[in-house]
Structure 1
Amino acid sequence: MFNVLISYWPLYWPHILLGLSLVVGAIAAVHAAMTKDEVRAALGWVGVIMLSPIVGALVYAIAGVNRMRRSSLRSQRAGMSDIELYHLSHYDASPDEVRTVSGRNFIAMKRLGDVVSRCNLTSGNSLTVLQSGDIAYAAMLKAIREAQRSVLLETYIFDNDRIGRQFVAALGDAVKRGVQVRVLVDAVGARYSTPSIVGVLRHVNVRVEVFNGKLIMGLRLPYANLRTHRKMLIIDGALAFTGGMNIREAFTTEFAQEHAAQDTHFQLTGPVVTDLFHTASEDWRFTTDELLEGDAWAISPPKQAAGEGLLVRAVPSGPDKSLETNHKIMMGAFSVAEKHIRIMSPYFLPDREFISALVTAARRGVMVDIVVPAQNNLVLVDMAMTAQFDQLLKDGCRIWRSKGAFNHSKLMCVDDVWAYAGSSNLDPRSLRLNFEIDLEIYDRPTAEAIAKRIDKHVATGTLVNLADLKRRPFFRRLIERIVWLGSPYL
């Protein structure tokens, strides 16, 4: 058959190419129509496939079939939810506790979180905000050096640089002391520096693996979209660190000096550590089939009694049974806001539903302030963000460009009594494709501290003006809109 096609090719190549284009395009279009959950996504892909013969089908095969992979991940991870087996149920927060610390309207937020998240809201927690890489890395390294039983580290980026090698040394020393150490790095994030830190860790006998890392010809397409973007460090089942901070020297003044990027991380104790540990241990088990159990991995009893301390919920989300959990919780918070919504995000590219929720809050009289970097480290993302600003500005939301060093923090505060922070960016990748971990915090002092952190950038930032946006050259605005069309894949 192949020889026959070759013999006819010189004379009938246009007809053969047309037939091939129709067959391949039809298969791809049917697949998009049958597997996409959102009508806009389905229509978009069918349009690309039909308007770009063969090329469109190829692009779809590379970038558009993540739905199948997500289904596969869900089925593979379906039996791995051990959180409920270890959850300290007597620490579960009551509606009365929520009413006392955050007000009556946030009881609805507790109910929402109980339904959509795999982790319950618990009392008995302590939380410290770590306001820079210098502070966060120092605390994390100290904890690793003092570990007695176990260290479980999961991160998106772990660079082979000067700060990364400090972590390698601390982890290697812990192994020498007899501490059980496991490190999980995302397959894409592990390649942000060359050579990868994975080999360096293995050289000092640290057990390290890469998440979703079985590559074909050096690539993991289309599955490279499905990443662990989580940042978690759990020490001895008692102390945890999480937030937005990867392991990179660019976030320390020690090495980057005045050019150091900013970020926010959190140190925690209490029942929430149990949920963070089992989220990270699920990812490790998914990757390696090893179940972390035994005395080394036992959870230490919380020091504070039930009903004391802070009310905190761990919020895992990702393309498995926790799909869009982060999105649902944030949308719920916007619906109960009465006074002020503050958001800080380095990559602000939410979907239409998210924008509508913010706009609706602004129309109800809620002040909505959104802070993004003046200088973004991802130029295309910044262009796409700018193209979307008008949808918020025309309905009363305020957007501020934060001056100074690039800020990678992902922070949210509602009415100065409820806060949400962690690894989730407000873009399609974090809200649908990545595995993320966030914290939902019901505590006025913590929420006020995060609000003040955001307000500092508002005070020194530049307010984005809708009229100024519209006055910019047409060609520039057109390019931004074209980039915005591809924002789900940035």
Structure 2
Amino acid sequence: MQTGISDLWPILLAVIQFGGAIGAAIHVMLSKSDERAAAGWVGFIVLVPFVGWVVYLLFGINRIQRRARELRGAKNETLLLAPLPPRHGGTALSERESGDPKLKVLESLARFGQKVLPESFEPGNSVGVLQNGDEAYPSMIAAIGSAERSIALSTYIFNNDPAGRRFVDALAAARERGVRVRLLIDGVGSWYSRPSLIPLLEERGIDYARFLHSFMPWQMPYLNMRNHQKIMVVDGRHGFTGGMNIAEGNVVAAAPSKPILDYHFRVEGPVVAHLMHTFAYEWNFTTGELLDGPDWFPEIGETGDVVARGLPAGPDMGLNPIRWTLLGALAEARRNIRIVTPYFLPDATLRTAISVAAMRGVVVDIVLPRTSNLPFIDWASTPQLEWLARAGCRIWKSAGAFDHTKIMTVDGMWSMVGSANWDDRSLRLNFEFNLECYGTSFARTLDDIVERKIADSHPVSLEELATRSLPGRIRDAFFRLASPYL
């Protein structure tokens, strides 16, 4: 009898191998959009018995996107995800609405954008530039101080330091006046400060929530689904967005030990409803509370000449609207592209689109910080910079403190600002919010900022990149392999 059972083991193992390999290979063919990746995985599964399909099950399946959809699937049927009803027809880029006939050349980009995300383009907005926490924080706190009905604030990091406590004081005072205050902090971002600000928020009675927060080790996958959005809306009318967290390091005049240079943006006009719309969805997902009515969504009149819309993005979306809008803008560019970002690890498709633009004759300037808070990001991006420099892109490393600015402009007419970096973490793994803008005056303001940065930057030549030491090249190549996870 024992001999008979032992004779069955080879057959049983063969059945397990055949079933596992066939199942994994079918999953690869149905789920992988990149043919090279699909072919590589199928080959590995077939040629390496047992190990091949087991490794694929452990590491080859995009569980981040699937988990994000599982977590948020119940909310996808609510009205919060539906685009806000447009207040006008078309793309809002006609001369009558934009005030600038030059913008009509970008109507094809706007049409493309609405296929990526059917959120309306809103004319009649103004977007003000706030430099560092020195300008942004007083403006935001003043808005909180003048709030009459509601305050919605979402941030990735909210530190327990002088800057953070000033915001807490302002929010608590608003709450005492009867203003409805809602504060959303990312669950991982709330760990950055030691001691945490959370006990102080509870002591002051501020209504807060933490996005996907857990102390449990088995919840570590949530490290890859962070709410990286920075949104503040006061009375449903006055908006702030950009890439700036709430931390004393952003207040340069205070001479912090590790200063952070950055820009934030004050938004007025109908597009503020897009900021509020995104916050309301994330708040509802986190707490179950539905924010609705005139306290949060009042009627808003036109205030400026910028046509804009909000671009929320996250791993629960099939097409990442920010990534696809970047691709569309790169394809549409005719004269110049300016990119300023603290972390530059674009995927192969984005790198190719940038290279093609430069090879078409478009002047492409990429401005990165010379001093980084994450050196391994710089090491991973360096091989990509060499490739882009060969295509004709101009690479700059800005002088001074770490620069956290996130700006992109195209042809002096189109621009994008917000929370997303040029890396997979922002464009595939995290929840982000960017503002897409059409308007020559605002784009010119951003171009002036970029030109000032370039004037104080070190030009990184192809020769400098190509003649790096062998140990440096090996280090950079090693970290480049991990770039999708950085």
Partner SS for 1:387: helix
C-alpha deviation, 1:296, in angstroms: 3.0
The answer to whether the 8 A contact 1:244-1:265 is kept is yes
Q: Tell me what 1:327 maps to.
A: 323
Is residue 268 of structure 1 aligned with residue 267 of structure 2? yes
CA distance in structure 1 between the aligned counterparts of 2:25 and 2:133, rounded to whole angstroms: 47
Deviations 1:181-206 (Å, cap 9, x if unpaired)?
A: 11111111111112322232122111
| Cα root mean square deviation, aligned | 3.0
Report 1:96-115 matches (<5 A): 96=95, 97=97, 100-115=100-115
Indicate how the Cα distance of structure 1 residues 401 and 25 shifts in structure 2: closer, same or farther if over 3 A, else same.
farther
Q: Match of 2:191?
A: 191
Q: Map 1:433-452 to 2 at 5 A.
A: 433-452=429-448
Q: 1:417 aligns with which of 404, 409, 413?
A: 413
Q: Is residue 467 of structure 1 aligned with residue 463 of structure 2?
A: yes
Measured in 2, the distance between the counterparts of 1:278 and 1:480 equals 41
Contact 2:412–2:444 (8 Å) recurs in 1: yes
Partners of 2:338 and 2:447 within 8 A in 1: yes
Per-residue deviation, 1:362: 1.1
Q: Report the counterpart of residue 236 of structure 2 in structure 1.
A: 237
Q: Which residue of 2 aligns with 1:75?
A: 73
The verdict on how the C-alpha distance between 1:81 and 1:487 changes in structure 2, with shifts beyond 3 A counting, is farther
Contact 1:83–1:275, Cα closer than 8 Å, also in 2: no
C-alpha displacement of 1:100: 2.9
Distance in structure 2 (CA, Å) of the matches to 1:131 and 1:145: 20
Q: For 2:83 and 2:409, locate their aligned partners in 1 and report how far apart those are by CA, in whole Å.
A: 31
Change beyond 3 A, Cα 1:257–1:85: closer
Within 1, Cα distance between the matches of 2:40 and 2:148?
53
In structure 2, how many angstroms separate the alpha carbons of the residues matched to 1:259 and 1:170?
Answer: 25
- The answer as to 2:373 corresponding to 1:377 is yes
- The structure-2 alpha-carbon separation of the partners of 1:221 and 1:35, relative to structure 1 and needing over 3 Å to count, comes to farther
Find the counterpart in structure 2 of residue 249 from structure 1: 248
Question: In the alignment, what sits opposite 2:4?
Answer: none
The residue number in structure 1 matching 2:176 is: 176
SS of the equivalent of 2:260 reads: coil
Tell me, in whole angstroms, the C-alpha distance in 2 between the residues paired with 1:377 and 1:216: 28
Match of 2:342 among 343, 346, 353: 346
CA distance in 1, matches of 2:103, 2:293: 41
Q: Secondary structure at the match of 1:320?
A: coil
Residue 164 (structure 1) aligns with = 164
Task: Report if the CA contact (8 A) 1:149-1:296 is conserved.
Answer: yes
- Count of aligned pairs between the two proteins: 470
In structure 2, relative to structure 1, the CA distance for the partners of 1:170 and 1:39 (3 Å cut) is farther
Question: Unmatched 5+ residue regions in structure 1?
Answer: 1-14
* Preserved CA contact (<8 Å) 1:151 1:233: yes
CA distance in 2, matches of 1:113, 1:25: 41
Amino acid at match of 1:232: I
Distance 2:211 2:43 in 1: 33
Distance 1:240 1:103, change over 3 A: closer
Secondary structure of 2:158's counterpart equals: coil
Q: Which amino acid aligns with 2:151?
A: V
1:288 corresponds to = 287
CA distance in 2 between counterparts of 1:486 and 1:47 reads 22
The amino acid of 1:180's aligned partner reads R
1:62 to 1:225, Cα distance in 2 relative to 1, 3 A = farther
Per-residue deviation, residues 95-125 of structure 1 (Å, max 9, x unmatched): 4445835433201111112221242111121
CA–CA distance in structure 1, aligned partners of residues 398 and 287 of structure 2: 41
Counterpart in the other structure of 1:222? 221
* More displaced 10-residue stretch of structure 1: 127-136 or 258-267: 258-267
Q: Provide the C-alpha distance between the structure 1 equivalents of 2:55 and 2:438, rounded to a whole number of angstroms.
A: 47
Within a 5 Å distance, the mapping from 1:20-169 to structure 2 comes to: 35-39=31-35, 57=55, 60=58, 65-73=63-71, 75-82=73-80, 86-90=84-88, 93-96=92-95, 97=97, 100-169=100-169
SS of the residue aligned with 1:79? coil
- Kindly state the Cα deviation for residue 72 of structure 1 after the two structures are TM-superposed: 1.5
Give the whole-Å Cα distance in 2 for the aligned partners of 1:132 and 1:290. 33
Partners of 1:422 and 1:243 in 2: how far apart? 4
Code of the aligned partner of 1:71? R
Q: CA–CA distance in 2 between the matches of 1:90 and 1:170?
A: 37
- Partner SS for 2:261: coil
Shift of 1:53: 5.7
What's the TM-score once normalised by structure 2's chain length? 0.88
Q: TM-score, length-normalised on structure 1?
A: 0.87
Query: Is the contact between residue 355 and residue 391 of structure 2 (CA under 8 Å) also seen in structure 1?
Result: yes
Cα distance, 1:330 vs structure 2: 1.3
* C-alpha distance 31-371 of structure 1, shift in aligned 2 (>3 A): same
For structure 1, which segment, 367-376 or 327-336, has the greater mean C-alpha deviation from structure 2 after superposition? Answer: 327-336
Give SS of 1:182's match: strand
Q: CA deviation at 1:254?
A: 4.1
In 2, the alpha carbon distance for the partners of 1:52 and 1:401 equals: 47
Q: Deviations over 1:446-465 (max 9, x none)?
A: 11111111111211211112
Q: Which amino acid aligns with 2:169?
A: A
d(CA) in 2 for partners of 1:389, 1:192: 30
